[in-house]
């Protein structure tokens, strides 16, 4: 079993870029640190570092180990904080994994109320796609997830929140589709499209578009929509996304829903059989009470 201390050592080297600077920061000798990492690599049976004269970089296995080391140390810290906090005080860190959704504005208001009532709570939001968030829920790196139409996995709990978002197309105001009240699937034929990576994997997409689904001209994909907007503004393609996801004030884009409608539902997702802290239980209760 790997000692927690070695995770700290490894991450210090990665941040510093070489063993000498890391050893100085850790207040240990360079030779001791080097030997510790060599022993770790032997223990794992993998090379973690590419050692240059002045700089060290991570191997592919080292990058994987870095991600897991960060997750493990975060879990250790969360556990210590939870156990130390007083029983009658809601305090500590709340970790939320969330898709980018317009309903976050309403959810944020609930979080603000919770934080005002319990000033020792600190809220941390990690934005990402469904795969990223689900992995963080299962490993315990986030306490709860807010996901759109997530896959229903047996090891997770799901609570449907009262938010439904139409899915459609953001098109330039001078585009022929801007005159349409809604966009029918057949109108997308041969048009360059920018869509989310999650939508490309969604079985509902296959059902909705039928044979046309495999013929769609996808020129770009995104996991978070912010940067995709810049692609759309250049004219690379028409952006597929959720209504009200973008501030269209002073924009040359307009939103057009699909017809028949495509809607997405928002779910609160938690890990089954998880013993939550009082603070996390309060968070879950607040989110489940949204009406």
For position 87, what pLDDT does the model report? 56
Can you tell me the mean pLDDT for 19-41? 90
pLDDT exceeds 80 at position 201:
no
For residues 157 and 273, state if they share a domain.
yes
Condensed to tens digits (0 to 9), the pLDDT of residues 107-160 reads 999 999 999 989 889 999 999 888 889 988 988 889 999 999 888 899 999 999
User: Are residues 192 and 219 both part of a single domain?
Assistant: yes
pLDDT at 131: 87
Range with lowest mean pLDDT among 83-97, 151-165, 180-194:
83-97
136 lies in the same domain as 172: no
Q: Let me know: does 95 contact 71? Beta carbons within 8 Å.
A: no
Residue indicated by tokens 């996390």: 280
pLDDT over 90 at 249, yes or no:
no
Nearest to 162 by CA among 146, 173, 150: 146
> Does residue 197 share a domain with residue 67?
no
Q: Inform me whether the pLDDT recorded for 161 exceeds 60.
A: yes
Percent of the residues in the chain that have a pLDDT greater than 70, as a whole number: 97
Q: What is the pLDDT of residue 261?
A: 92
Q: Are residues 258 and 282 in the same domain?
A: no
Would you state the pLDDT for residue 62? 92
Question: In which domain, by residue range, is 63 found?
Answer: 4-76
Residue that finishes a domain, picked among 76, 111, 130: 76
CA nearest to 97, candidates 145, 138, 134: 145
* Mean pLDDT value of segment 25-40: 90
pLDDT of residue 248: 83
**Domain endpoint, select from 46, 76, 106:** 76
| 173 and 259 belong to one structural domain | yes
Percent of the chain clearing pLDDT 90 (strictly above): 48
Q: What are phi and psi of 6, to 5 degrees?
A: -70, -30
Same domain (yes/no): 121, 174: no
Domain count, the chain: 3
- DSSP state for residue 183 in the 8-state scheme: B
Identify any residues that bridge with 255 across adjacent strands, giving them in sequence order: 170
Does 155 share its domain with 170?
no
What is the token pair recorded at 18? Answer: 């070489």
Query: In terms of domains, do 256 and 187 share one?
Result: yes
Query: If you ran DSSP here, which 8-state letter would residue 224 be given?
Result: S
Query: What value does the mean pLDDT of the chain take?
Result: 88
Shared domain for 58 and 101, answered yes or no, is no
CA distance 184 to 153: 32
Average pLDDT over residues 260-282: 89
| Domain end (from 47, 76, 105) | 76
The DSSP element (H or E) to which 185 belongs, if any, is: none
Using pLDDT thresholds of 50, 70 and 90, give the confidence band for residue 81: low
The whole-angstrom separation of Cα 170 and Cα 173 is: 9
> 56-70, pLDDT tens digit by residue?
999 999 999 998 888
Residues 153 and 72 in one domain: no
Q: Tell me, what's the pLDDT at 86?
A: 52
d(CA 202, CA 265): 13
Question: Torsion angle of alpha carbons 238, 242, 246, 249, nearest 10°?
Answer: 80
**Does the pTM of the predicted model rise above 0.75?**
no
Paired tokens of 154: 């047996």
Q: How confident is the model at residue 49 (pLDDT cuts 50, 70, 90)?
A: very high
Find the range with the poorest average confidence among 10-14, 34-38, 189-193, 248-252.
248-252
Confidence (pLDDT) at 89: 63
Which residue blocks in 141-249 are alpha helix, DSSP H? 197-201, 203-209, 225-234
Residues 114 and 40 in one domain: no
Nearest-angstrom CA–CA distance, 25 and 22: 5
Tens of pLDDT, residue by residue over 210-224, are 888 888 899 999 988
State the residue for tokens 């030997």. 35
Can you give the pLDDT at residue 181? 93
* Residue at token pair 């063993």: 19
**CA 36, chain centre distance (Å):** 33
CATH of the domain at 224: 3.40.190.10
Q: How confident is the model at residue 239 (pLDDT cuts 50, 70, 90)?
A: very high
């Amino acid at each position: 079993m790997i000692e927690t201390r070695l995770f700290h050592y490894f991450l210090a080297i990665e941040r510093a870029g070489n063993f000498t600077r890391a050893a100085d920061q850790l207040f240990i000798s360079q030779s001791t640190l080097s030997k510790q990492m060599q022993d770790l690599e032997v223990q794992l049976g993998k090379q973690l570092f590419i050692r240059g004269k002045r700089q060290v970089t991570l191997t592919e296995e080292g990058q994987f180990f870095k991600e897991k080391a960060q997750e493990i140390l975060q879990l250790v810290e969360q556990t210590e904080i939870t156990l130390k906090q007083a029983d009658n005080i809601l305090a500590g860190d709340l970790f939320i994994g969330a898709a980018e959704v317009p309903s976050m504005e309403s959810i944020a208001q609930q979080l603000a109320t919770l934080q005002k009532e319990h000033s020792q709570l600190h809220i941390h939001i990690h934005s990402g796609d469904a795969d990223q968030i689900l992995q963080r829920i299962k490993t315990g790196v986030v306490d709860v997830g807010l996901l759109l139409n997530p896959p229903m996995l047996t090891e997770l709990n799901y609570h449907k929140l009262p938010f439904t978002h139409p899915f459609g197309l953001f098109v330039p105001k001078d585009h022929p589709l801007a005159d349409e009240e809604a966009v029918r699937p057949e109108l997308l034929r041969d048009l360059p499209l920018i869509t989310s990576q999650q939508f490309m994997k969604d079985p509902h997409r296959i059902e909705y578009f039928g044979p046309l689904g495999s013929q769609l001209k996808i020129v770009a994909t995104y996991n978070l929509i912010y940067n995709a907007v810049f692609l759309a503004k250049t004219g690379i393609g028409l952006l597929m996304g959720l209504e009200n996801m973008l501030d269209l004030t002073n924009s040359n884009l307009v939103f057009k829903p699909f017809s028949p409608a495509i809607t997405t539902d928002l779910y609160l997702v938690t890990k089954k059989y998880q013993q939550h802290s009082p603070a996390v239980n309060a968070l879950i209760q607040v989110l489940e009470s949204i009406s």
